[in-house]
Structure 1
Amino acid sequence: MTVPDDLVRAVEATLFAAEEPLTVDQISNHLGKAEVRSALAELKAHYDGRGIRLVERGKRWHFETAPDLAHLLRREKEEARRLTRAATEVLAIIAYHEPVSRNEIEAIRGVQTAKGTLDVLMEAGWVRAVGRREVPGRPVIYATTPEFLAHFGLGSLKELPGIDELRAAGLLDPVDDEMIETALRPQPVDTSDEPPEPECDE
């Protein structure tokens, strides 16, 4: 199917000017309900191998710097956001088990989670509240965001690495190895009212 050049250019301009990644429906609505999937596919192929590329992260489209050129634009003054061990554990649990409530997170970790830990992840834009569990008390449940996928270069949560991949890449030390393996392992959720062992997050 041949896509009209003016539609391809319009989609390109829309994405270039957008302040945040856009879904197919958002792009279509902006262009008068036009069918834009073919135009997106053509643009994606056009930018393949160039200095910037068109990618889809969490069903949202945006331009990003080619991975092999990212170092040219990185400012040395900027310090990478460093998470505490507690925040790293919580983020891993949410990513691999979402949607989960705070009680379910604590059941997996075996310790209480400080409110500030979730706040840090939400302020970073990587975690958000997505509703309430239909159980007594109706606890809030959390999930990752499209920004989480974009930050870590993931198309979807299906691309999350397994424990063997993390270990082979040398990304785990013995402490993190144990923590991540616990987070990835399916576990029954403790729904009792008995509080877990308290913990002072770092």
Structure 2
Amino acid sequence: MADNNKISDTQLKQLIEASLFVLGKPLTIKFMRETVLAGFSVSRARIQAVVNELQQDYQERGVQLVKVASGYRFQTLEMLNPLLQPLWQEKAPKYSRAVMETLAVIAYRQPVTRGDIEQIRGVAISSHIIKTLADRHWVKVVGHKDVPGRPALYATTNTFLSYFGLNRLVDLPPLSDIESLQAMFERAQQAPEPANDAESEAAPTTIEESTNE
């Protein structure tokens, strides 16, 4: 494809686009440099410029290239999801109000214990709710609170951010904006299941501390 570890701009753009299409899950620039671009002398800045160009190319299309917490991925335009539902053989699972409320508490107040969640919601939560969120790789234990019994502390993961189309915790709608929050959850439940990310590390522990390099 190229000589002396060089690759043309056109070839680079084609290779990055194909890699994003084939992988089927968020792809980072670091991973691209370590895999499909390992044999070429391509700077991170050059790859980023090509990715930015691809984002512009897809901006007005039904499929868009978006950045989420765990990398870049192709996804359908949100407004088209309800119309595309007949094409999906497997629909995304529906989650109860209790599950989504628990997830919201963890997302906005993390890290929190089960007791903290119950105090905020005003009701007891079952182990099944926590297990559901953990099985989806949306939350994980990030430590234990230094109190008697040392209860587990829960926080969201990058898989959570990616699933809900978020890049960082600061991208969450304001907690007071109930309509936007509900709309985000509804859009996610209409969309097809994305591939699970290989890494489900915890997201930054607070919205204020969230950063993305």
Task: Using structure 2 for the length normalisation, give the TM-score.
Answer: 0.65
Task: Using structure 1 for the length normalisation, give the TM-score.
Answer: 0.68
| Offset at residue 138 of structure 1 (A) | 4.9
Residue by residue, what CA displacement relative to the aligned partner does 1:134-174 show, whole Å, maximum 9, x if unpaired? 6255543322233433443333322222244325x6959xx
Paired residue secondary structure (1:53): strand
Aligned 1:127-146 pairs, distance under 5 A: 127-129=139-141, 131-133=142-144, 135=146, 138-146=150-158
| Offset at residue 101 of structure 1 (A) | 2.7
Paired residue secondary structure (1:63): strand
CA distance in 2, matches of 1:4, 1:80: 38
Give the counterpart of 2:26 among 17, 21, 31. Answer: 21
**Contact 2:111/2:153 (<8 A) preserved:** yes
Give the counterpart of 2:11 among 6, 18, 36. Answer: 6
CA distance in 2, matches of 1:120, 1:99: 18
Letter in 2 for 1:98: Q
State whether structure 2 residue 128 is matched by structure 1 residue 116.
Answer: yes
State whether structure 2 residue 127 is matched by structure 1 residue 126.
Answer: no
Q: Which runs of 5+ in 2 are unaligned?
A: 1-7, 184-213
Letter in 1 for 2:82: H
Paired residue secondary structure (1:73): helix
Residue by residue, what CA displacement relative to the aligned partner does 1:77-113 show, whole Å, maximum 9, x if unpaired? 7655333332222111011112323233233234432
Indicate the residue corresponding to 2:188 in structure 1: none
CA distance in 1, matches of 2:181, 2:9: 47
CA distance in 1, matches of 2:135, 2:50: 34
Distance 1:10 1:80, change over 3 A: closer
| Offset at residue 16 of structure 1 (A) | 0.9
Indicate the residue corresponding to 1:105 in structure 2: 117
State whether structure 2 residue 164 is matched by structure 1 residue 159.
Answer: no
Letter in 2 for 1:4: D
| Offset at residue 115 of structure 1 (A) | 1.1
| Offset at residue 25 of structure 1 (A) | 1.6
Deviation beyond 4 Å, 4+ runs, structure 1: 76-80, 169-172
Distance 1:77 1:18, change over 3 A: closer
* Number of matched pairs: 168
CA distance in 1, matches of 2:25, 2:101: 28
**Contact 1:132/1:138 (<8 A) preserved:** no
State whether structure 2 residue 44 is matched by structure 1 residue 39.
Answer: no
Letter in 2 for 1:133: H
Q: Which runs of 5+ in 1 are unaligned?
A: 173-202
Letter in 1 for 2:26: P
Q: RMSD of the TM alignment (CA)?
A: 2.9
Letter in 2 for 1:118: I
**Contact 2:175/2:181 (<8 A) preserved:** no
CA distance in 2, matches of 1:57, 1:171: 20
